[in-house]
Amino acid sequence: MCGRMAITLPHDAMAQVFDAAPANDLPNTPDYNVCPTQAVHVVTAGEGQRRLRPMRWGFVPHWYDKLSGGPLLINARSETIADKPAFRAAVRERRCLIVASGFYEWHRVPGAVPQPWYVTRSDGSPMAMAGIWQDWSKAEAPLATCAVVTCGANAAMAPIHDRLPVILSPGDWPLWLGEAGHGAAPLMRAVADVALTFTKVSTQVNSNRAVGEDLIAPVE
């Protein structure tokens, strides 16, 4: 599961890390509380040049007659993505990297307020999450939309939540983006060795209106 994220890198730094040409309308950074339906930073490949682009976080199938025409699809399960009518064409033809500094996950215990944790790569590098995307053409202009691909939690994540975004290492980016030919399917399980850091943070991030760097500050 991935239901909230933070992005702190400046646009030029993201463009350099991913060797991508940045669009002119990228979301402002830093943003410590990126929520579903907001624009996120996405890397796509094509015509010999990667692009760093904004996309709506919430994949919209072509048959939705409005943005709220069905469930909000912010995640796509790797185990079923190839079979789901909403996702199967996109995972073959329109894969992307969804860029974040980290994401939030909530540990839920019956009878208690869900406890948020902020999850980052232990090496401090940006998190490139496997994603899928497609344009939804029933808006006034085509709207690029995306979803994060998730898999079962690794051993480090399991005490907090049973799902984890598929986090790709730099050597895997070309294959996922389709630059290195076919055979990307195994990458959707390749997260066991990614070293992650888990920071217990304030429950103020439970509100989608919360803002500011304090959201990622550790608490006891």
Q: For residue 190, what pLDDT is reported?
A: 59
Structure tokens at 206: 């439970």
Beta carbons within 10 angstroms of residue 4's beta carbon: 25
CA-CA-CA-CA torsion sign (186, 105, 43, 66): positive
For range 161-177, the mean pLDDT = 95
**Across all residues in the chain, what is the average pLDDT?**
94
Q: Are 166 and 130 a contacting pair, CB within 8 Å?
A: yes
In tens, the pLDDT along 49-93 reads: 999 999 999 999 999 999 999 999 999 999 999 999 999 999 999
User: What is the total count of domains within the chain?
Assistant: 1
Q: For residue 189, what pLDDT is reported?
A: 76
**44, burial (CB in 10 Å: exposed 0-12, middle 13-18, buried 19+):** buried
Structure tokens at 81: 């993505």
CATH of the domain at 191: 3.90.1680.10
State the Cα–Cα distance between residues 104 and 125, nearest whole angstrom.
16
Question: In terms of pTM, does the model score above 0.75?
Answer: yes
Asked whether the predicted pLDDT for residue 183 surpasses 90, the reply is no
For range 25-29, the mean pLDDT = 97
Cα three-residue angle 168-171-172, rounded to 5 degrees: 45
For range 185-196, the mean pLDDT = 80
CA distances (Å), 182 to each of 6, 84, 176, 177, 186, in order?
31, 20, 9, 10, 11
For range 147-157, the mean pLDDT = 93
In sequence order, the β-bridge partners of residue 136 are 143
For range 36-43, the mean pLDDT = 98
In sequence order, the β-bridge partners of residue 128 are 99
Asked whether the predicted pLDDT for residue 138 surpasses 90, the reply is no
Q: Which residue range forms the structural domain that includes residue 203?
A: 4-216
Among the listed residues 32, 33, 15, 16, the one whose alpha carbon sits nearest the alpha carbon of residue 24: 15
- Quote the percentage of the chain above a pLDDT of 70: 98
Q: Which residues are catalytic?
A: 2, 105
